[in-house]
Structure 1
Amino acid sequence: MVRVLIVDDEEDLLNLVSAIFRSEGFEVLTANSGEAALEILESEHVDLILLDVMMPGMDGWTVASEIKNRGLAIGTPIAMLTVKSMTPAYFYKDEVEGITDYINKPFSNDQLISRVRSILDESEKIKGIKEVLHDISPGFGAEYAEVVRAERLYENLKKSMELSLSRRDKGTEEYNMIKDAFDYCQLLLLRIREKKEGFERLVEENKEV
């Protein structure tokens, strides 16, 4: 059974999201603060972390950073729950490197489950490739997983910024700021995909040996 850790300080939303996942057959762990989430991850294995961004005390970004710094839940996808669209300000955060996806509130039950299943399916699909790459060279498997995570995240960031650009007047300072981040995102995606394709070629070549 897939285990999901849901972290949100709003009790009503925490209960609602938990009920949605339980109705779909997931095992659910909950935490109403970043500190509680870290304590759970010290002793429990989970397959996915849903992490609210705006929480008192330790916010979602800090929690994601602490998970990485403490070596907790290594390789576990982290999806941020946020009422705000991802902006260039988020794009340049160091902490963004630790997350797999972000999900905007409000969301429908179907949207939430669909997004989460997509993340989990992707995580499952790359397991075989990771194992082959690890056999070729220790560390390649983890690098490939990081590339896949980054591709998903930056593709969603690109879509979000593309939508933001369509709602801004060309030539304004805000438009230019978003456009610069959008262009940089496209460049990053190009590099990420080239690296991903390189790893996948290695896997194919290994099959032929």
Structure 2
Amino acid sequence: MTEILVVDDTPGMVELIERLLSDVGYSTLGAESGKEALEILKIKSPDLIMLDVMMPRLDGWQILKLIRDQPDLRKVPVAMLTVKKLTHETVMGSEIGELVDYIQKPFTKESLLKRVNCLVQESEDIAAEKTLLREAALAENIIDDFEKTMRAEKLHEKILGILRRSLETMNSPDEASVLEKAIELQEQKMEWIKVRAWTLKNDIRNIYSLMDNSWIKNPEYLS
């Protein structure tokens, strides 16, 4: 469930916004000061932060800067709640970071939910992008392991071929026995390598099936 942090030094405003959001299915967290909000953000990473501009001690802009200084929160959309004209606020927000929007007070239920829904969609898009990047990195690592395994398979095939040819020309029964054991061990290694390659190949296929392949070309060996 989408979680939204509402920060405003007026308890009634926090309660009102939380109720409006809860009525349409959002999960909410409330804070009545910048300090309380920062404490919550130490243990929570909400999908959206609604932040009042005019607050005592730490105002909205100071809190926003502290939020953007935290790597895990840099991409969380923030809606600044303000009674001022948006032109000045917009300039200040652009100096602090991206993904900052503005909701002017007083607002209607419809206007509030419209902005919130847009920002939540942005948050979901960001989360989807992060997931895609993680999957791409995972696929890259598995592909690297697969290619190393394939090189190992070719190397061990050559070694096995050399051992078998040597056995054909071996005259001493004792030496032949040693070679036969070496071949048996090599065949066991080959079997393990083939199983490993098959497993990695399936892992790669599974990851690619979940990813948007419009910008990723499947390796030829997956065909």
Q: Distance in 2 between matches of 1:59 and 1:24?
A: 29
Q: Distance in 1 between matches of 2:129 and 2:54?
A: 35
Q: Which residue of 1 aligns with 2:6?
A: 6
- Residue correspondence of structure 1 range 168-187 to structure 2 within 5 A: none
1:55-97: per-residue Cα shift (whole Å, max 9, x none)?
A: 0110000000011224453421111111112224741566441
Q: Which residue of 2 aligns with 1:43?
A: 43
* Kept after mapping to 2: 8 A contact 1:4/1:46: yes
The alignment partner of 2:17 has SS state of helix
Q: Which residue of 1 aligns with 2:59?
A: 59
Residue type of the alignment partner of 1:206: I
Say what the alpha-carbon RMSD is for the aligned residues.
2.8
Q: Which residue of 2 aligns with 1:104?
A: 104
- Residue correspondence of structure 1 range 92-171 to structure 2 within 5 A: 95-132=95-132
Q: Distance in 2 between matches of 1:24 and 1:35?
A: 28
Q: Distance in 1 between matches of 2:44 and 2:127?
A: 21
Aligned CA distance change for structure 1 residues 54 and 99 (closer, same or farther; 3 Å) = farther
Give ranges in structure 2 of 5+ residues lacking alignment: 138-212
Aligned CA distance change for structure 1 residues 207 and 50 (closer, same or farther; 3 Å) = farther
Q: Which residue of 2 aligns with 1:163?
A: none
Number of aligned residue pairs: 146
- Residue correspondence of structure 1 range 179-198 to structure 2 within 5 A: none
Q: Which residue of 2 aligns with 1:83?
A: 83
Aligned CA distance change for structure 1 residues 90 and 122 (closer, same or farther; 3 Å) = closer
Percent same amino acid at aligned positions?
A: 38
TM-score (norm 2): 0.56
The alignment partner of 1:80 has SS state of strand
Superposition deviation, residue 100 in structure 1: 2.4
Superposition deviation, residue 39 in structure 1: 0.5
Q: Distance in 2 between matches of 1:110 and 1:5?
A: 19
Aligned CA distance change for structure 1 residues 45 and 208 (closer, same or farther; 3 Å) = same
Q: Which residue of 1 aligns with 2:154?
A: none
Structure number with bigger Rg: 2
Q: Distance in 2 between matches of 1:113 and 1:77?
A: 15
Q: Distance in 2 between matches of 1:91 and 1:42?
A: 28
* Kept after mapping to 1: 8 A contact 2:77/2:122: no
* Kept after mapping to 2: 8 A contact 1:3/1:48: yes
